[in-house]
Amino acid sequence: MLAFSPRTSRASRETSRYHHSKEQFSSLRPQTVAISFSKGGVGKTTTTINLATELATNGHRVLIVDLDPQGNASTGLGIERSQRKLSSYDVLAGTSGIQEASVCSCIAGLHIIPSTQELNGAELDLADVDRRAYRLRDALERSVDDYQYVLIDCPSSFGLLTLNALTAAHSVLMPVQCEFFALEGLSQLLRSIERVKVTFNPTLDIRGILLTMFDKSNNLSWEVANDVREYLGDKVYETVIPRDVCVAEAPSHGKPVLLYAPQCAASRAYFQFAEEFMERESQLMGTN
């Protein structure tokens, strides 16, 4: 049975130097969400860019941090290589601040700190630097930008990049593909999150699980969706993202599917998911 264990008192002591209450945290930094899952190809990047698009369309100022060396979020938003003069690597290395490294996307109110292949070397390059797990969080705390949301697109491996994301984040959003190994990946990530909470970020919250690539004609999709809901209850968003070929086509046009094919089934689902996400956020912030 997957379970969310409460924060231990040891965790509180070990992290007291970095600990902020939810209220203090919110006033220091924009709501920061790590989009993470311990398996590749489950829809992390697709969810990041489409949620960010819808948040920005609703008038929020949004920053995506592309922390994946593959740079799919950057490509999916049409950021040319020539625009990637500074990257999330520079932010982690401390050679650039958030503001200098961010570039405008084609969507008003949505900025992105792109990724470059230098990120592949981050693990080694940052091995001996001070506060290596806190590089992104420190940069966000220093930033004077008035973003309301920062969405961090994580790689699927759990290394220093994902650790920086989970240390910087208030919450984690996990896209879970409706397929056989979903529960295995989910329990792996939940264990990693518990470890991060103990040592680095005690207030890290699992905000939600989003079921992706659901195929209603496939029994396995239903079984996985039922199992995930049984284990994680209301942590799982009501909205389910269907498998839809338009999603795979959109990145080659440098656009989120919400803009590439706004009427397709996946776009309608991402639109509905963003509504549910914003509703849950405002309930948690006590503004509803």
Ligand X SMILES: Nc1ncnc2c1ncn2[C@@H]1O[C@H](COP(=O)(O)OP(=O)(O)OP(=O)(O)O)[C@@H](O)[C@H]1O
E strands within 20-94? 31-35, 62-66
Closer CB to ligand X, 42 or 101, in the complex? 42
10 Å Cβ neighbour count for 144?
A: 7
Instruction: Choose which of 36, 38, 45, 102 interacts with Mg ion (CB under 5 A).
Output: 45
For residue 26 the two structure tokens come to: 């919110």
H or E element at residue 197: helix 182-199
Q: How far is the CB of 36 from ligand X (least distance, A)?
A: 9
Taking residues 266 to 285 in sequence order and writing x for each that binds ligand X by CB under 6 A, - otherwise, the string is x-------------------
Q: Please identify which residue in 3, 8, 28, 40 interacts with ligand X, judged by CB under 6 A.
A: 40
| Of the candidates 163, 98, 95, 97, the residue with the CA atom closest to the CA atom of residue 131 | 163
- 287 burial type by CB count under 10 A (0-12 exposed, 13-18 middle, 19+ buried): exposed
| Region 216-275 residues binding ligand X, contact defined as CB under 6 A | 241, 243-244, 247-248, 251, 266
Calpha distance 251→266 (Å, rounded): 14
Max alpha carbon distance in the chain (Å)? 51
Q: Does 135 bind Mg ion (CB under 5 A)?
A: no
- Which residues are CB-neighbours of 229 under 8 A, at least 6 positions away? 236
Give, as ranges, the residues between 48 and 77 that touch Mg ion (CB under 5 A): 72
Nearest CB to ligand X, comparing residues 150 and 266: 266
Site for ligand X in 133-172 (CB under 6 A): 156
Residue 179: which of 216, 231, 225 has the closest Cα?
225
Task: Name the CA radius of gyration of the chain, rounded.
Answer: 18
Q: How far is the CB of 43 from Mg ion (least distance, A)?
A: 8
Residue pointed to by tokens 């309608």: 268
> Least Å distance between CB 26 and ligand X?
27
Out of 29, 44, 137, 255, the only residue in the binding site for Mg ion (CB under 5 A) is 44
> Which residues pair with residue 110 across a beta bridge?
62
Q: Sketch the per residue contact string, 44 through 73, with ligand X: x for CB under 6 A, - otherwise.
A: xxx---------------------x-x-x-
Residues that bind Mg ion (CB under 5 A): 44-45, 72
Residues that bind ligand X (CB under 6 A): 40-46, 68, 70, 72, 156, 212-213, 241, 243-244, 247-248, 251, 266
